[in-house]
Amino acid sequence: VAVLGLGRIGSAVADLLASGACAPHLEATIAGALVRSADGRRATTPFPICTEPLAIFDARPDVVIEVLGGLEPARTVVLEALSRGIPVVTANKTLIATYGDELFAAATRFGTPLRCEAAVVAGVPFLGTFAARPLAASVDRVTAILNGTSNFVLSRVDGGVAFEEALADARRLGYAEPDPSKDVDGSDAAEKLAILVRHFARLSIRPSGIAAESIENVGPDEMRAARALGGRIKPVAVAEWSSPDLGCFAGPAFLPEDDLLGGLGGVLNGVRLERRGSAAIHLIGPGAGPEVTARAVLDDVVEALGGRQQVGVGALPRASVGPPASQGYFVTLRATSLPDAVDVADLLAAHGVWIRRWDALQAHPDGELRAFLTFPCLPDELLMALRALAAASACAATSRPIVEARRD
Ligand SMILES: NC(=O)c1ccc[n+]([C@@H]2O[C@H](COP(=O)([O-])OP(=O)(O)OC[C@H]3O[C@@H](n4cnc5c(N)ncnc54)[C@H](OP(=O)(O)O)[C@@H]3O)[C@@H](O)[C@H]2O)c1
């Protein structure tokens, strides 16, 4: 195998191969590896190292493992491998979310396997499983926690820790990247959601078209208010589709406390697959980490060498993305002195927003805080209602979508 990238994942792949853990399913040696700088650290590496991307083919690999990250040179080398009939395994969600159409179309054209199990919830091997089981995979809604760092951070915030401190803890424990912005702002989850839409809805979407919200302004007071109303705030990604509409969201959302995904703490990831009229399927496990990711990568190598093509290949129809259907909102109001609940309810109702449940008024460092849940309403109705409330009473409002499993 050729390994593109010898960072956390590439090194774990090399270690796992060297340990013999893959026998008897896979007997492979590393024919060569691509890195950015072949400095002294790599003087003792027991296989050839190169820094020129296309030079990796001089090693004549049977399989290419792409764990570089980013778009280039990953895209160029993957396309070159596919055109040469060399199967490719990648863990690179950015690459697949951005160039999935082009890469899977090339895989189909050249009849070469391209697999990406480790790109989404690396520790739970489900993409390949569902790709081979089209009836089980015919779902119309995916709800997931796809980013372990943001789940860890919000779990700490739920325990009363401020956001900045929780993020510093994630960095100290090695869960967060040196630059965690893609974890925090929802764009990492949006890329993974785009891959899930590709696999389950068989639609192609741009990750940048998904409305993504940051977890940055979720604080312990909002978490307490959510708990008082029977839920939790979690970093959730949702996609639902029914021809011709596709609705997606990635960001902090209110989950009822009996929701299986709502109960996932720390760095755990989870995916719920729903189909109207059927019981939901839940998949739960580690989303990242060098060893679990390396195992997913090498299992993909075993499958690719077995000749099984990943379903979901080829260019798929492009879809535009709107918001998912509203299940209501969790709203928190803060002001020096909040208006009476009855007045708030009247003003919101005048804009088509109906309150389902109130929490008690709480003291807050800036004055008062009060939270409530609404019945389903349009995002624009909520926006206009909260603007009118801010104009009438100078209160600041934060809203999170309610995300619930279907009860039908
Ligand atoms: N970390 C996880 O837990 C995890 C989980 C699932 C999926 N993934 C995915 O796996 C991939 C790799 O992640 P990682 O954490 O292993 O990344 P990483 O530690 O940053 O390693 C990247 C490796 O790629 C090499 N590289 C980067 N750009 C290059 C270029 N232009 N030319 C040649 N070599 C280049 C680097 O070379 P140098 O060493 O010389 O800098 C390094 O060896 C990413 O797509 C990531 O999203 C990661």
Check: CB of residue 114 under 8 Å from CB of residue 90: yes
Q: Can 93 be counted among the known catalytic residues?
A: no
**Ramachandran angles phi, psi of 403, nearest 5°:** -125, 115
pTM: 0.95
pLDDT at 307: 61
pLDDT at 315: 79
pLDDT at 379: 94
Chain center to CA of 85? 30
Helix (H, G, I), strand (E, B), or coil: what is residue 240?
strand
Please tell me the distance from the alpha carbon of residue 191 to that of residue 194, in angstroms, as a whole number.
5
Residues 22-35 pLDDT 10s: 888 898 999 999 99
Check: CB of residue 397 under 8 Å from CB of residue 333: yes
Identify the residue whose C-alpha is closest to ligand 1 atom 42.
Answer: 7
Which residue's entry shows tokens 């960072």?
A: 7
Q: Which atom of ligand 1 is nearest to the CA of 38?
A: 40
Please tell me the distance from the alpha carbon of residue 91 to that of residue 195, in angstroms, as a whole number.
12
* Full pLDDT tens readout for the chain, 408 residues: 999 999 999 999 999 999 999 888 898 999 999 999 988 778 788 999 999 999 999 999 999 999 999 999 999 999 999 999 999 999 999 999 999 999 999 999 999 999 999 999 999 999 999 998 999 999 999 999 999 999 999 999 999 999 999 999 999 998 888 789 999 999 999 999 999 999 999 999 999 999 999 999 999 999 999 999 999 999 999 999 997 789 999 999 999 999 999 999 999 999 999 999 999 999 999 998 999 999 999 999 999 998 655 555 577 888 989 999 999 999 999 999 999 999 999 999 999 999 999 998 888 888 999 999 999 999 999 999 999 999 999 899 999 999 999 886
Identify the residue whose C-alpha is closest to ligand 1 atom 27.
Answer: 68
69 CA to centre of ligand 1 in angstroms: 5
Identify the residue whose C-alpha is closest to ligand 1 atom 41.
Answer: 36
Please tell me the distance from the alpha carbon of residue 406 to that of residue 408, in angstroms, as a whole number.
6
Residues 6+ apart with CB under 8 A from 280: 272, 273, 274, 405, 406
395 CA to centre of ligand 1 in angstroms: 45
